[in-house]
Amino acid sequence: MNTLIFRTVAPYLSALMMLFSVFVLLRGHNEPGGGFIGGLIAVSAFAIYGIACGVSAVRRAMKFHPMSIAASGLLLAVVSVLPSLFLGQPAMTSQWLALPFLGTVIDLSTPLFFDIGVYLVVVGAISSIALSLEERAD
Amino acid sequence: MAATKTTVDITAAMVTEAVPLADWLLVAPVLLTMAGGAISIIFRKKSATQPWIAITTIALVILSNIGLLNHVLTNGVVTMVMGSWLPPFGIAFTADPLGALLALTASVATMCVAVFAMNSIAENERRYGFYPFLLMLLCGVTGSFLTGDIFNLYVWFEVLLISSFGMQILGNEKVQIDGAVKYAVLNLIATTLFLAATGLLYGLVGTLNMADIAGKLKAFDNSGPMLGLATLYFLAFAMKAAAFPVNFWLPASYHTPRLVVAAIFAGLLTKVGVYALLRVMLLLMPEGRDWLASLIGIVAIATMLTGSLGALAQTDIRRLMAYLVIAGIGAMMAGIAVGNEVAVSGAIFYSMHSVLIMTALYLLVAFMFQMSGTFSLREIGGLYIRTPLGAGIGLILLLAVAGLPPFSGFWAKLLLVAGALEAGRGWVAAGILVSGLFTTIAVGRLWIFAFWRGGNEHTVDGIQALPIAGSSDAADISWSIWLPLIVLTALIFVIGILPETMMSITENGAKTLIDPTAYIGSVFGGIR
């Protein structure tokens, strides 16, 4: 896919998709969306970037190895289960924290962190597969 | 546009009273293995620290499982619902003596494999993720043993299957890919059947919680669909457990992976299938079991006989062990076929024993290979002189798998035979005994050839042949190989000498399975 138009557009397109993936992740608690689908959108962004600019560019852009991203997501998901341990509640009971921020209120919760964990697992695992498949094609 | 907010009172649907800390032991094994797996993936390049991450994690899991078993034995069946949502809506984790005992045994076996693998898994294969896969496999296995939700059971099956696929092809050899394809295809078919059956079951009773299903199916008038479902579940789990005639995948795939991997597969994976059969056939669908009892009995006898005869016919030690796994599966299924308390207790005892013995035997094969440089019964020999301790361990393990006293396998078979005679199923009892005889001949032949005979098959009696090139001396065998073998042998020996504690646990487990009142009561508390 070595066309000038695609190569020029791809970085902007993947940046937009990344932004959208975060939006989908965050709205997921009350509306359609969530970590899994958000993660898939993010991986598509990486894939488009990779098709246009090559695998090594994607690896540089990701900073961390995809497997490490997936693993840290899994760890985050596990940690997000724990707070209810200290409150005498069953595992995975959601804890909410309403945080006033610049005149509005941000609802932070353990399901949010669980969802971010899922997001990272999906991003890491699927992009690891996608990148190694693309590397073989080179 | 601000959405109109409606306040719904959800306290009626949630657990409101405080949960004792000990109940967290239910989810601790799963959380620990997941966290340990994640950490060992992050440090995947540090191959020297990998084993220690895994060993620490598994040690914690063992401690937590001991605590859980103790908790279950003192307080009865324990349940925790995820997210405080009351069952049947929240996913329940429910531990009865059966699940807790198997979870503990599985973590002990995994520990032995983790230690054994320190020396026998090459550096680059560690980088391909042996230890993360091992931890996630344990995560899937303990999750299956502890979950109280049938769809969640399916999810844990997937977790352990994915990890097992990864472990099976460590080494990237063609023959491994070949074995993995056979293994994967048959397991995927079985999993699909399981999923289809679960979908149909949900359509039938509208719930996935096992306790709820058990209660609702008991009050179910139209037994036709339920019997169909029981058959479907039986087929799916029999495939996983490697019962005759859907067991051809096991001998075709278990000799290809690394031997430590085969050890953990033989110890855990088929037992998960047996566990699922025990759970579904006895707790959820006792009527279906009664209806299928004769079929299960025939399948069990055929599995035992083909397994032990297959073992008798093999000259490759690895394949011989694969057939011994199958013979053991038949014995456990015999317990399900008989279905009374004594026999089910025997089946639980046998599952526990089988986890330990099959892991130990594959580790023994790895040890024998290192000592002799061959897997062939024709080539192997002279190990007795070179490693008397190894020969002793081998003798104990081989006698134990054949079910001879005073080792753990004997008590399991005793319970099974006693239960079968009590229920008037003499054929099943005869099957167990005959297959035990064949197994004894097969393992006796293995021990005599490998340890007693001076060298390969042409060696004259009384002559000690030179060791095959490439084999190591007993002095070169590292502690990480001796330790797991000795620990497993000691466990099998101690359980064989002092079976009362274990028998009371398995009896307790059998009671809870056959009379689901305690199980249902634990999940629904005082609500129903």
Q: ω into residue B88 within 30 of 0, thus cis?
A: yes
Residue B220's pLDDT is: 79
The answer to whether B4 contacts chain A (CB < 8 Å) is no
| Range name among B323-327, B333-337, B475-479 with the lowest pLDDT average | B475-479
* Residue B448 CB partners (closer than 8 Å, separation 6+): none
The answer to whether B37 contacts chain A (CB < 8 Å) is yes
Residue B446's pLDDT is: 93
Q: Decide: B107 and B29 in contact? Cβ < 8 Å.
A: yes
Residue B327's pLDDT is: 94
B307 C-beta neighbours (distance < 10 Å), count: 30
Say whether pLDDT at B481 is over 80: yes
Which residues is B75 bridged to in the sheet? none
Q: Decide: B14 and A54 in contact? Cβ < 8 Å.
A: no
Element (H, E) at B414: helix B408-422
Residue B330's pLDDT is: 94
- The closest alpha carbon to B110, from B348, B269, B228, B239, belongs to B269
Residue B127 Cα, gap to closest chain A Cα (Å) = 12
Residues of A with CB below 8 A from B525's CB?
none
How many angstroms separate the CA atoms of B470 and B436, rounded? 35
Give the residue ranges of DSSP H helices in B206-285: 210-218, 223-241, 249-253, 259-264, 270-277
Say whether pLDDT at B143 is over 90: yes
How many angstroms separate the CA atoms of B75 and B7, rounded? 38
Q: What is the tens place of the pLDDT at every residue in A2-53? A: 788 999 999 999 999 999 999 999 988 888 888 999 999 999 999 999 988 8
Q: What is the tens place of the pLDDT at every residue in A66-79? A: 999 999 999 999 99
- The closest alpha carbon to A58, from A9, A131, A4, belongs to A131
Say whether pLDDT at B48 is over 90: no
Collect all residues from A whose CB is shorter than 8 A from any CB in B.
67-68, 70-72, 74-75, 77-79, 81-82, 84-85, 88-94
In a domain, B187, yes or no: yes
The answer to whether B60 contacts chain A (CB < 8 Å) is no
Q: What DSSP character marks residue B404?
A: -
Residue B362 vs residue B244, higher pLDDT: B362
In a domain, B307, yes or no: yes
Say whether pLDDT at B1 is over 70: no
Q: Decide: B211 and B148 in contact? Cβ < 8 Å.
A: yes
How many angstroms separate the CA atoms of B181 and B166, rounded? 12
> What residue ranges do the domains of chain A occupy?
4-137
Which residues in B80-94 are b (16+ Cβ under 10 Å) and which e?
bbbbbbbbbebbbbb
Which residues is A98 bridged to in the sheet? A107
B338 C-beta neighbours (distance < 10 Å), count: 29
Residue B8 Cα, gap to closest chain A Cα (Å) = 15
The top-scoring range by mean pLDDT among B169-173, B368-372, B382-386 is B368-372
Residue A8 Cα, gap to closest chain B Cα (Å) = 34
Q: What would the mean pLDDT of B341-348 be, rounded to a whole number? A: 94
Q: What is the tens place of the pLDDT at every residue in B401-459? A: 998 888 999 999 999 999 999 998 999 999 999 999 999 999 999 999 988 887 777 77
Max CA distance (Å), chain B = 94
Residue A24 tokens, joined: 């989908």
Q: What would the mean pLDDT of B50-69 be, rounded to a whole number? A: 95
Element (H, E) at B64: helix B50-75
Say whether pLDDT at B528 is over 50: no
| Range name among B261-265, B351-355, B364-368, B517-521 with the lowest pLDDT average | B517-521
Amino acid letter for position A93: T
Domain that holds residue B85: 21-524
Q: What is the tens place of the pLDDT at every residue in B235-263? A: 999 999 988 888 888 888 888 888 999 99
Q: Decide: B78 and B522 in contact? Cβ < 8 Å.
A: yes
Residue B5's pLDDT is: 56
Residue B435's pLDDT is: 94
Q: What is the ipTM of this complex?
A: 0.90
Residue B321 tokens, joined: 């062990």
The top-scoring range by mean pLDDT among A2-16, B371-385, B460-474 is A2-16
Q: What is the tens place of the pLDDT at every residue in B94-119? A: 999 999 999 999 999 999 999 999 88
Residue B40's pLDDT is: 92
Q: Which of B34, B44, B80 sits opposite A78 (nearest CB)?
A: B34
Q: What are phi and psi of A2, to 5 degrees?
A: -105, 45
Residue B460 vs residue A114, higher pLDDT: A114
How many angstroms separate the CA atoms of A43 and B383, rounded? 55
Q: What would the mean pLDDT of B352-378 be, rounded to a whole number? A: 91
How many angstroms separate the CA atoms of B35 and B140, rounded? 13
Which residues is A100 bridged to in the sheet? A105
Q: What is the tens place of the pLDDT at every residue in B202-219? A: 999 999 999 999 988 888
Say whether pLDDT at B377 is over 90: no
Residue A2's pLDDT is: 73
Residue B456 tokens, joined: 């390969």
Which residue of B lies nearest to A91 if distances are taken between CA atoms?
A: B82
> Measured in Å, how far apart are chain A's first and last C-alpha atoms?
12
In a domain, B14, yes or no: no
Residue B353 Cα, gap to closest chain A Cα (Å) = 32
In a domain, B249, yes or no: yes
Say whether pLDDT at B372 is over 50: yes
Which residues is B209 bridged to in the sheet? B149
Mode of pairing for the β-strands spanning B78-81 and A104-109:
unpaired
- Interface with A, mutate which of B27, B78, B523 (most A CBs under 10 A): B27
How many angstroms separate the CA atoms of B342 and B492, rounded? 21
Residues in chain B: 528
* Domains of chain B: total: 1
In a domain, B15, yes or no: no
> Measured in Å, how far apart are chain B's first and last C-alpha atoms?
44
- Interface with B, mutate which of A81, A82, A94, A118 (most B CBs under 10 A): A81
Which residues is B147 bridged to in the sheet? B93
Say whether pLDDT at B52 is over 80: yes
Which residues in B169-186 are b (16+ Cβ under 10 Å) and which e?
bbbeeeebeebbebbbeb
Residue B469's pLDDT is: 65
A102 C-beta neighbours (distance < 10 Å), count: 5
Q: What is the mean pLDDT of chain B?
A: 89
